[in-house]
Amino acid sequence: MTQSPALPVQDSYGRLSDGREVYRYSFTNSRNVTVRVINYGCVITDILVPDKDGNIDDISIGYDKIEDYEPNPRCFGSICGRVVNVISNGKFVLDGKEYSLPLTFSSLENEAPKHAIHGGVKGFHLKLFESWIDGDKVKMKYVSPDGEEGFPGELTTIVSYQLTNQNELVTEYSATTTKTTIVNFTNHAYFNLQKHDYPNIDDHVLQISADKYTVNKDDDIFIPSGELRAVADTPFDFRKPVRLGDRLKEGPHGRGFFHNFCLGESGPLKQAAVLDHPPTGRRLEVLTTEPGMHLYTGCNTIPHTKGKDGAVYEPFCSVCLETQHYPDTPTHQDKFPSIVLRPGENFYSKTIFKFGLIPQ
């Protein structure tokens, strides 16, 4: 017997400070998986999945209400764009013309911002998208004006979410532009497979399908140097499963991981990572058409953050598996896969988060 698809249901999630209404869409499939998303920042607010004993918990960290998501300084659960991740010195050259972006990020504490990150002062994670239900999908649309946050071209972006009865949360991105521009999207969900309010990810076991990673600079530890290096014999070798608690403090300067892993050619759908949590039996598989995946382990940038259900989030309480093109691609256009989008072209990207149990 064919199972009915997980059809989304819309309700109100409240209003922004300027009075605009935010909508929430809830999916529940035949296997007791529930996902909720809102059209502000295309945020995934909740992911509720069973463990090996049938207990259902929320495994995605976030907030309770729109008042907290409106600033969302950690990009909890949101889409990031136009260009996710860093652009060093906030500058890039496109067809011989230099563009300058707002400087919003520094690698060092108490240092004035000197790089651009996540699309600018008000990137896509802080935009209210037009949204509607299309069959078993929710679609969200935003038209970014020419010149917004320093990027050329009017960019029309559509993000869609779908929850299948195979426990697949499918995210698709499409975009067109009126001028040659650069585009790189991701979803910035933070996962803790024990439960969103559990204080650490030590017992998580991670495997990444990457033979190489992008090396960061020694003097600016979140900025790629342009070098692609083999993961073999380094702390970045996740080709076989690794318990995160045994590896987190091996990251640069003991700050965990803020690094891109090279997955292969852009376009084909391929496995990026498998995240297991043996105590609960939960498993998360990540598949993507993107050439890279950024591993972010919370580092020291989530200090005592109040979250949903009374939770308090601390460093190393969660892990992000951000499928995307490589960070700072405009600075390394001769080495990294291109993120250039031209008029008449259609950008398309797909990522699947598949929830399940560790095979016995």
Catalytic annotation present for 188: yes
From CA 67, how far away is CA 76, in angstroms rounded?
A: 13
CA–CA distance from 287 to each of 19, 270, 320 (Å)?
38, 5, 14
Q: Please provide the DSSP assignment of 135-194 as one string.
A: TTEEEEEEEEPTTGGG--S-EEEEEEEEE-TTSEEEEEEEEEESS-EE-B-EE---B-SS
Q: Which amino acid belongs to residue 242?
A: V
Say if residues 231 and 259 touch (Cβ distance below 8 Å).
no
Place of tokens 């504490």: 109
Question: 272: annotated binding-site residue?
Answer: no
Element spanning 319, H or E: none
Place of tokens 């095979």: 359
Catalytic position from the list 188, 204, 277, 294: 188
From CA 306, how far away is CA 312, in angstroms rounded?
A: 5
Catalytic annotation present for 322: yes
Alpha carbon dihedral 283, 287, 293, 295, in 10-degree steps, equals: -10
In the β-sheet with 212-216, what is the strand arrangement from edge to edge? 224-230, 212-216, 258-262, 292-296, 320-324
Alpha carbon dihedral 89, 94, 96, 97, in 10-degree steps, equals: -60
**Closest residue by Cα to residue 22 from 30, 13, 31:** 13
From CA 296, how far away is CA 284, in angstroms rounded?
A: 16
Q: Please provide the DSSP assignment of 62-121 as one string.
A: --SSHHHHTT-TT-TT-EE-SB-SEEGGGEEEETTEEEE----B-SSTT----BEETTST
Which residues share a beta bridge with 117?
86
Which residues share a beta bridge with 132?
139
Catalytic position from the list 196, 290, 322, 325: 322
Question: 190: annotated binding-site residue?
Answer: yes
**Binding-site residue positions:** 188-190
Residues belonging to the binding site for beta-D-galactose are 188-190
Q: Which residues are catalytic?
A: 188, 322
